[in-house]
Chains A and B, each alone.
Chain A
């Protein structure tokens, strides 16, 4: 795990922080709550389309989609975080993110209820998450960002994906 963190959070994160101190975050909704993730990880956002289920996969992996010829797995964070599942509708989108794994860069899709906005804030604006106990998703939260009128949960998206998609393949 620490290996992954180094590759993921190390150089790239450092670089973007150096460029003026504040970073851009993409926010999106999951089960009524607004989350945010480092926008540099996001490759594109695409509309929801049918996925092909893959046997022997955990339930939070919905399946695979065709992204311009590449076979890309789609993770449903709502299932992963045991959130209430919103219906798949016209607002449902797939955020396509790039993650550096042990075997090179991978592309993974993340289903969210809707994308919301792009915010800029610096690392100091992110406060450590409260020590809420027992929450499964605690390990995927980098911190909380408080803006004028709302609270964003900043997700460690790499960690989420690595544990969801790559975790199981370690043995392989």
Chain B
């Protein structure tokens, strides 16, 4: 373990905590939307403060500098000197985005792009300056305006605060020394009186470092005051008796200077006194933040591009490297291991001296071992389980932004946030969920006018719900909008030749058409959705995770998209199937039902494709023995069982000899030592130590249908 490595780990921890902090800030800010709450503001402030502190420690001065101005604004909200206005919240929300972007850049070891920050920090400064301004002087008013004018065009195409009412806030209490002093000329430097608390050294502060840091900003004159130094005999070297007067000749903003003293504790007295030249303010004061942007840096992002960049960023960030586990889970594990050790010693006793009458207690110990093992297995799996809230948390913001953009009123309801699922599943399901939510907002919910016309409340409801059901997790995205328009979907599908003109389709089949690649019924294409890309990806992602999607919809009352996923990728709820002498495992989720077929339900098309009439559908029959080259008990379909499987919206019937037990199986990779085999998802180990292969149902269906079409092609 080199220091570099350790440093890297600490750094990663900082990134993770920062992202968490940003999430906290975001959700806090969104709650503030509904009304100011002191505790919430405090929470947001604390999150911002620790990000700033951490960023400063790791030398991400851009981040800590920018976060500082955010913090200043929050501080004023916190101490009540500033009201919570929607516009300020909007700016703060954007600031959260900007900080997140900066942290992401830092994590990816990219240069931190300051374009967004520069524009936004002038916005922040303008808001901050607003309250110091009102009656005092003309120049004070001129500064923010000039800043806003200079800063806004630089970046975000649509500065949201452009319509901000000027100085609608009365002059509040003075937060920091600087705010009360109206500037009378150009800022030339700072006179800082630094009288540290005697415990300065104990808090690991070295004044020399602080001064060095200040000297980096500009020429620094330091004057030391030794008046308080005690007699040499009474001098306690661990205490600080000195104070300093510093003269910094540099036009750095207050935040930049104060940042240097960030880590000096609150008992120390620090007075900042700006020194102004005679001249009238010449516009935008220099901002080190803006200068840090790389010279040939990327062009400013437009407002539309920013979310896109954010969406793709986490993937490249490699964030799945570590796992934060609740202490209780680890404690539970330790307890279980303790029990296991006890059981082991009980069993060990029998090896030393075994009397036939011990058989009963041997059995008991073995039963205990079985229980321990099962509990241990469950607990270990628990470690990978995270509440789905991690994924749901991003939706309040998404819905907030999107509903503004679309001009719809949406009430988002989240439930079941504490439902846990595997980390990998969670990560992979997040993007499809975003897609479904966007779709629901764009296509599902109607505009307020249309809703009123339909006799509904003008505010639509979007519900995200998660719960456990029989070994899987179910996630529902439910809206009370217009519902899917069956006729239009069908018409579009016929128009595009996806469905024969005279085909009769069940509701489910019609709804499933929206998962076909490139299918869209949207009349207009917006940048939110409507291009028909996505739903197919959604379904593929979910199928890859071993789950499936179901659509329920009622015209005028809304639609529900229901996703069913396995709780974990490591364990599969399996159904054992026997073909000849071989045993295979199929995922229980993919099995619709199993039937004993009758002769009259079977038919043959073109002498090749065998079909089984299942309810109203005709399903192609897969003879597994044929596909895998097994010697079966019987080749007669009516002798065996037909297992109706569903994958990617297609159903097939698979012929097997016998159904065996249902059981949870641990999925092992075939690829580690061997290779991927078509039609197989992996392998598992039976109780007797032998290996059973797990069927990859979607792959199997695909392979089968491909072979069919090849045969048909050859025959034609």
Interface residues, chain A, with chain B CB atoms under 8 Å away = 49-57, 63-66, 69-73, 106-108, 165-166, 168-169, 172
Contacts and interface: CB of A to CB of B under 8 A. Distances in A.
A64 to B, nearest CB: 5
B607 interface: no
A166 B674 CA distance: 7
A122 to B, nearest CB: 32
B674 A64 contact: yes
A107 B673 contact: yes
B677 A71 contact: no
A55 B690 contact: no
Given A55-B627, A65-B690, A71-B668, 11 more contacts: A53-B582, A54-B670, A56-B677, A66-B689, A66-B690, A70-B668, A71-B670, A73-B673, A73-B674, A106-B673, A172-B675
B265 to A, nearest CB: 52
Interface in B654-676: 668-670, 672-676
Contacts of B693: 52, 54-55
The listed residue with most A CB atoms (<10 A of its CB), out of B669, B683, B690, is B690
A52 B677 contact: no
A70 B675 contact: no
A108 B670 CA distance: 12
B678 interface: yes
B672 A70 contact: yes
B685 A108 contact: no
B691 interface: yes
B668 A56 contact: no
A172 B629 contact: no
Contacts of B673: 70-73, 106-108, 165
B628 interface: yes
The listed residue with most B CB atoms (<10 A of its CB), out of A54, A69, A70, A168, is A54
Contacts of A69: 668, 685
6 contacts: A52-B691, A52-B692, A55-B677, A106-B672, A107-B673, A166-B675
A155 B680 CA distance: 32
Contacts of B144: none
Contacts of A53: 582
Given A54-B680, A55-B629, A71 B674 contact: yes
B679 interface: yes
Contacts of A166: 675
A53 B583 CA distance: 10
A71 B669 contact: yes
A54 B674 CA distance: 10
A128 B17 CA distance: 63
Contacts of A71: 668-670, 672-674, 682-683, 691
Contacts of A49: 689-690
Nearest 10 pairs of A and B residues by beta carbon: A169-B675, A55-B628, A52-B691, A73-B674, A71-B683, A106-B673, A66-B685, A71-B668, A107-B673, A66-B691
Contacts of B680: 54-55
A70 B691 CA distance: 10
B679 A55 contact: yes
A107 B671 CA distance: 11
A53 B691 CA distance: 9
B674 A165 contact: yes
Nearest to B627: A55
Nearest to A172: B676
Contacts of B677: 54-57
A78 B673 CA distance: 21
A168 B582 CA distance: 24
Nearest to B674: A73
Interface in B535-590: 582
B570 to A, nearest CB: 12
A70 B672 CA distance: 8
A161 to B, nearest CB: 10
Nearest to B686: A66
B678 A56 contact: yes
Contact of B675 (A55, A107, A165): A165
A143 to B, nearest CB: 28
Contacts of A54: 670, 674, 677, 680, 693
Contacts of A56: 628, 677-679
A158 to B, nearest CB: 14
B363 to A, nearest CB: 26
A165 B677 CA distance: 12
B672 to A, nearest CB: 7
Contacts of A106: 672-674
A136 B680 CA distance: 31
A32 to B, nearest CB: 29
B375 to A, nearest CB: 19
Contacts of A172: 675-676
B676 A169 contact: yes
A73 B691 CA distance: 11
Nearest to A61: B674
A70 B630 CA distance: 25
Nearest to B582: A53
A63 B677 CA distance: 12
A72 B685 CA distance: 12
A92 to B, nearest CB: 17
Given A52-B693, A55-B628, A71-B683, A64 B676 contact: no
Contacts of B689: 49, 66
A66 B674 CA distance: 12
Contacts of B674: 54, 64, 71-73, 106, 165, 169
A55 B674 CA distance: 13
Contacts of A57: 677
Contacts of B676: 169, 172
Contacts of A168: 675
Interface in B473-519: none
A52 B683 contact: yes
A168 B674 CA distance: 10
